[in-house]
Amino acid sequence: MHIGTDSPVRLAEARLELGEVNAALALILPEQRAALLLVTVEGLSYREAAEIAECPVGTIMSRLARARVALMKRLGAESAGRRSTDNVRAQ
């Protein structure tokens, strides 16, 4: 996914994505959502997230996996076909 351009089309798409993301996050359980935001958005390690959440790393791992799957299903259902899978190679 190409980000960082200033084109109106891209900005409009970003707003759409933000709406989709907000809607998807609202459907994820709070503990799973927290793990997702701490690790995926804020970039914390599993260990750091576990310290904040005061739970074992394995619990964070489990919560995060469920959150990621839920996010994938939700966003995939709404945006299927809109994006490529280039990010797999990029990550």
* 39 contributes a contact to other proteins by CB under 8 A: yes
Rounded Cα distance, 68 and 4, in Å: 24
* 26 contributes a contact to other proteins by CB under 8 A: yes
Letter string b/e over residues 34-61, b meaning 16 or more CB atoms within 10 A of that residue's CB? bbbebbeeeebebeebbeebeeeeebbe
Give the footprint of other proteins on this chain (CB under 8 A): 1, 3-4, 6, 10-11, 14-15, 17-18, 20-23, 25-30, 33-34, 36-42, 45-46, 52-54, 61-62, 64-66, 68-69, 71-72, 74-76, 79, 83, 85, 87-88, 90-91
